[in-house]
Structure 1
Amino acid sequence: MGKLKRLAGETVLYGLGSILPRFLNFLLVTLHTDVFNPPEYGVITKLFSYVAVVNIIFLFGMETAYFRFSSKKDADEKRIFNLAQTVVVSISLVISIILVLFSYQISDLLLIPGHEKLVIMLVAIMFIDAVVAIPFSRLRLQRKPTKFAIGKLINIAILIGLNLYLLKFSGLKPDISFVFIANLVANAFYLVLFARILLQWRPAYDRSISPQMFSYAYPVMLTGLAGMTNEMFSRITLDKWLPENFYPSISKESALGIFGACYKFAVLMNLAIQAFRYAAEPFFFSQSNEKNSPQLFAKVNHYFILVCCILLFSVSINLDVLKFFLGQSEYWDGLYIVPILLLAYLFLGVYYNFSVWFKLTDRTYYGTLITIGGVIITIAGNYFLIPVAGYFGSSIATLLCYFAMMVACYLFGQKYYPIPYSIGKDFSYIVLTVVLIYLINSLAIADGAIGVVVHLTLAVFYVAAIFLLKRKDLVRKQA
C-alpha cells in the first residue's frame, strides 16, 4: 500500500497543478456563457478544438519517449532531454511559420474570414505550449509536483484575471479575441518559469538514440492525434452535419455553442484522468521491473475506477446545481448529455490504465491501431447519429468509441502482458453507479430546493458507502 499511497499523494499534487487550474478555467464557462451568446461561444469551441489536435503534432509523442528513454538503465537524462526538446522545438517552429504565413487562408477555411489575427494568436499559444512541454515532463520525471503545481496555478491566475478584466471591468465591448489574448499572455508566463532550463538547452542529435526515439514516439503521436480526433471531432463537425432546423428554436451555430458549453462538465472527469496520468505514467515506468508490478497495476486500476465512479455519480445527480455555472439559460437544454460523456471519459481513463502494457513492451503501434479503430467509430457514429439525434448522438458516439477502445486494449494486453485486473468487481461498481444515477434522476421532486438537498445528501452517502466497503475489504484481507 505504500507505493499506492505515494502515487495517490503525487496525484493530489499534480491535481493541484492540473485539475485545480483546469477546474478554475472551467469556471470561465460561467463568464463566457454570460457575455457571449451560443453562436459566439460556438466559434471559441471550434477554434480551441483545432488547437487541441494541432498540439499533438507539435509534441510528436516526445513526452512519452522522454520518459521511456530517460528511465532506461544508465541513461543520460540531460542528453535525452536535449534530444527530445530539439525535436519538439524544430517541428513546432516549422509548422508555426507555415500556419502564420497562411493565416488569411486558414481563417477563411475555418469560416471566420477577417480573423487571421486570431489564427496567429492561436499559433503562438500552441508554440509556447510545445516549447514548455518537455520541461514540464522533466518536473514529473524528477518528481517535483510542487513546482509543477505552482507553475500551473500562476498561469491560471493570470488567465482568469485577464478574462475578468477584459470582459467585465475594462469598459470595452466584449469580443472573443479577448479570450485568446488572455490565453497568450498567461502562456507567456511559462517562458519565464522555465527560462533557466530553456537557456541551458542545447539543440542535439544522436545517430544512435534519436532514430530510436523517433521510432518509439511517432506511433505515440499518431495515437494521440487519433485520440484527440475522437475527443474533438464532434465539436468540429456538429454544425456541419446537423440538419437545418433540427432544433426548431436555435441555429446550428447555437447548437454547437450549447454542446461545447455542456461538454465542459464532462471535462471534469477528464481532468481527474489527466492528473492521474501525470503521476501514473512515470510511476508505471519506474515500477515495470518489479516482480509484483502486474498485481500493483491491477490495484491502481481498481482504486482509479472507484474514484471515477464517485465523480460520475456526484456530478450526474447534481446537474440542477451545476447548471448555474452556465451564464444564460439557453445553455441548459444540453445538460442531459453530461452523464453520458462522463461515463465515456471514465472508459477512456480505464483505457489509459490498460495501455500500460504496450508502453512497457515497446509495442506502441498497438495503441495507434486501437485508437484509429476508435476514430472510425467516432466518425461513423457522428455521421449517422448527428442527423437523427443531434448532440445526443455525438455523445453516444463518444461513449461507444471509448468503450470499444478500452475492451480492445484489455484483450490485446492480456495476450502480451497479462495483468490480473479484477474486471468483474471493477465493472460491477460502474454498472451499479449508472443504475443509481438513472433511478435518482428519474425521481421527480417538485420543490427544486428540496431536490438539490436530497441529491447532495445522496452523493455524500454514496461516497461514504464506497469508503465503508473498501475499509471492510481491507480488514477482511488483513485478517
Structure 2
Amino acid sequence: LQLFLVFGMGNSLVRYLIGAADKRLVFSSHFWPLLAVSTLGSLAVFLSAGSLSAVYFAEPLPGDAGLIRLAALILWFDSLSTLPYSLLRAENRPLAYVSGMSLQVVIYAILVVYLLGARHSGMTGVLIANAVGSGAVLIFFIPLLKNNLSAAFDSRAFRIYFAFGFPIIFSSLGKNLLDLADRWILDRLMGAAVVAYYSAGYQLAAVANLAVAAFTLAWKPFLVRAAAEKGARETFARIMTLTIVALCLLFLLISFFADNLVKLSFFGYHLIQESYWPGLRVIPVVMVSYIFYGAYINLSVGCDLKGRTDYYAWTTGAAALFNIAANFILIPPLGMLGSAWATLFAYLLQVALLYYLTRRLYPVTYEWAKLLRLGVLTGLCFAGAVLSGSSAPAELLFSVLFLAGLFAFRIMDRQVLRGLFSLLRRTTAGEE
C-alpha cells in the first residue's frame, strides 16, 4: 500500500532536485501532494480498521482493529519520511541518512525487547515499537523539512514529477512478483520442505542483492550529476564494467565458500541448520541472477535522464510474467534448481528488454569486449574450482587467479580506476 501512497515521489525528487535552480520549490512540489495522498490513504485504513480486520484475520478478535490502526499510523509516518531520505540521497549526506535509519532500528529493537520480553505484548508490542521508531524518525527530520519546505507549489512541474514517479509503482510490484512468485509456485508443485531448502540457499545468495541495493542508492543521484560531466557516457560504460566485476567476484566468493561457511560449528550450532544444506546448490544460479540485476540497474541511465520510467514497468512486468511461466515449466523436471534457473532467465530477459528500449533513448557504448572477457574468466575460474573437487585450497587459488586475470586480460587497469575515483570525488562532494 505504501507504494501507492508515495507513488514514486522519492525517486522523482532524487532525479529533479539535483541541479535545480529553486530546490525548495522542487521539494515542496513533491511534498504537498505526497502529504495529501498519504494522509487520506492512511486515514482511510485507520477509519476502516474494523472492516479490514474482519477481512484480514481468519478469526478476528476485538483487539485486531487496533492492530490495523497501528499499521495505518506506521504507514503514514513511513510515507512522510520518504522524501527526507530522498533529499539526503540527492544532497549526498550519507551520515544523516544512516543516522535516521539507525535511530529507527535502535528504538525498535529496544522497545521490542521490552514490550515482548517484559510486557509480553505480542503483535501489539511489535507494532507499537515500529510506530514509535517510525515516528521518531519523522521528528528527527523536522529540521530538514523546515529548511527545505515552503508553501509554494508548481503544478506544471508536478505533472512531470508524477509522470516520472507513477510507473515506479508498477515496476516495484513487478519486482516483488519476480522475487516471490518462485516460492509460491515451488510450494504448490514440490511442497513446503523444498521451499525451506530453496529459501536457505537464497539467504546466502541475497548478499549480492544487498550489494546491488546499496549500489542503487548511490547510483541514482550519481548518474544525474555525472550526466553533466564531460565524457559521461564513457563513464557510465566503465561503471557498468566495474559493477559486473564486483558482482562476479562476489559470485565466486559466495559460490566457493558458502558451503564451508555454513558447515562451521559454533558451540554446536551452524549458520544454517544441517537439514537445509541441500538448498545450497541453488546459490551459483541465484548469484548469476543478481549479476544480471546489477546490469539492469546500470542500464537505467537513459530511463532516469529522459524520464521514461514506464520502461521499468514494462520490462519488470514482462520478466515477472516470464518467470511465472518458466517456473511451471522447469520445476517439474529440475525441482528447486528449475526455479532458480527460471529466475535467472527472467532477469536476463529484463536486461535484454531494457537495453533494447534504451539503446536509442540514451546511447552508451558499453565495453562489450571487456564484459565478454570477464564472463569467460569468471566461467573458467568457477569451472576450474568445481573440476578440482571444490576443495578450499582450489577455491582460494581460483579466486586469486580471477583477480590476477582482471589485469592480465585488461579488464581493469589503474588509469581507468584513477579517472573514476577522480570523477566520484567531484560528483559526490556534499556536506553533512
Tell me the TM-score normalized by structure 2.
Answer: 0.79
Unaligned runs of 5+ in 2: 264-269, 419-432
8 Å Cα contact 2:111/2:129 also seen in 1 = yes
In structure 2, what is the equivalent of residue 227 of structure 1?
175
Pairing partner for 2:7 from 49, 60, 80: 60
Counterpart position of 2:56 = 107
- 2:302 matched to 1:357? yes
Give the 3 Å change call, closer, same or farther, for CA 432–173 of structure 1 in structure 2.
farther
Does the C-alpha gap of structure 1 residues 237 and 189 become closer, same or farther in structure 2, counting only changes over 3 Å?
Answer: farther
1: CA distance, partners of 2:126 / 2:372:
40
Q: Which amino acid aligns with 1:143?
A: N
Say if 1:66 and 1:81, in contact at 8 Å, map to a contact too.
yes
The answer as to whether partners of 2:378 and 2:402 remain within 8 angstroms in 1 is no
- Deviation for aligned residue 1:212: 2.1
Give deviations 1:294-333, integer Å, cap 9, x for gaps. Answer: 1111111111111111111111111223425645333323
Give the whole-Å Cα distance in 1 for the aligned partners of 2:376 and 2:14: 35
* 1:76-475 correspondence runs (5 A): 76-100=22-46, 101=49, 102-108=51-57, 123-158=72-107, 170=117, 183-198=130-145, 201=149, 205-239=153-187, 242-243=188-189, 246=190, 252=192, 254-323=193-262, 326-441=271-386, 443-444=388-389, 451-452=391-392, 455-456=395-396, 458-463=398-403, 465-466=405-406, 473-474=413-414
After superposition, the CA RMSD in angstroms is 3.6
How far apart, CA to CA, are the structure 1 residues paired with 2:393 and 2:134?
Answer: 40
2:381–2:401 Cα contact (<8 Å) kept? no
Q: Indicate the SS of the match to 2:307.
A: coil
Q: Residues 339 and 187 of structure 1: is their aligned pair in 2 closer, same or farther, counting only changes over 3 Å?
A: farther
Distance of 2:171 and 2:6 partners within structure 1: 12
Q: 134-143 or 453-462: which moved more?
A: 453-462
**What letter is aligned with 1:267?**
A
Counterpart-to-counterpart distance in 2, 1:402 and 1:471: 24
Q: What SS does the aligned partner of 1:132 have?
A: helix
Deviations 1:123-150 (A, max 9, x none): 5544433221211111111111222233
Deviations 1:317-365 (A, max 9, x none): 1122342564533332322222222211111111111121122122222
Conserved 8 A contact 1:354-1:409:
yes
Q: Which has the higher contact order (CA 8 A, sep 6+)?
A: 1
**Inter-partner Cα distance in structure 2 for 1:471 and 1:285:** 26
Q: Distance in 2 between matches of 1:393 and 1:124?
A: 41
How far apart, CA to CA, are the structure 2 residues paired with 1:93 and 1:199? 19
> In the aligned structure 1, how far is the partner of 2:279 from the partner of 2:80?
37
Q: Are the counterparts in 2 of residues 141 and 282 from structure 1 also a CA contact under 8 Å? A: yes
- CA gap of 1:388–1:67, structure 2 versus 1, over 3 A, is same
Instruction: Pick closer, same or farther for the CA change 1:267–1:99 going to 2, 3 Å.
Output: farther
AA aligned opposite 2:361: Y
Distance 1:262 1:128 in 2: 34
**Other structure's SS at 2:155 match:** coil
The answer as to whether partners of 2:15 and 2:220 remain within 8 angstroms in 1 is: no
Q: Which has the larger displacement, 149-158 or 357-366?
A: 149-158
| In 2, Cα distance between equivalents of 1:141 and 1:159 | 27
Q: Distance in 2 between matches of 1:262 and 1:180?
A: 30
- Take 1:373 and 1:160, find their aligned partners in 2: how far apart are those partners? 39
Question: Residues 61 and 440 (structure 1 numbering): CA distance in 2 closer, same or farther, change over 3 Å?
Answer: same
Q: Is the 8 A contact 1:374 1:402 kept in 2?
A: yes
Go from structure 1 to structure 2 and tell me whether the alpha carbon gap of 1:106 and 1:321 turns closer, same or farther (over 3 Å shift). Answer: farther
State whether residues 61 and 220 of structure 1, in contact with CA within 8 Å, keep that contact through their aligned partners in structure 2.
yes
2:386 & 2:66 partners in 1: Cα distance? 45
Q: Provide, for residues 233-292 of structure 1, a one-character-per-residue CA deviation record: whole Å limited to 9, x for no partner.
A: 3345543xx23xx35xxxx2x444444443232221122112222222112112223342
Q: Relative to structure 2, which stretch is displaced further, 203-212 or 270-279?
A: 203-212
Shift of 1:455: 3.5
Offset of residue 65 of structure 1: 1.4
Q: Name the aligned partner's letter for residue 141 of structure 2.
A: F
Whichever of the two has the greater Rg, that structure is 2
Partner residue of 2:429?
A: none
> Can you give the 5+ residue segments of structure 1 that lack an aligned partner in the other structure?
1-53, 446-450
Would the alpha carbon gap of residues 328 and 391 (structure 1) be closer, same or farther in structure 2, given more than 3 Å must change? same
CA shift at 1:411, angstroms?
2.3
Query: C-alpha separation between the residues in 2 aligned to 1:467 and 1:369?
Result: 38
Summarize the Cα distance change of 1:129–1:112 in structure 2 as closer, same or farther, 3 Å threshold.
Answer: farther
CA distance in 2, matches of 1:271, 1:438: 26
The 2-side partners of 1:440 and 1:175 are apart by 48
Cα deviation code 1:444-479 (max 9, x no counterpart):
46xxxxx4465356435534543666697446999x
8 A contact 1:323–1:335 mirrored in 2: no
Cα 1:388–1:469, aligned 2, differ >3 Å: closer, same or farther? closer
Q: 2-side partners of 1:132 and 1:106: how far apart?
A: 29
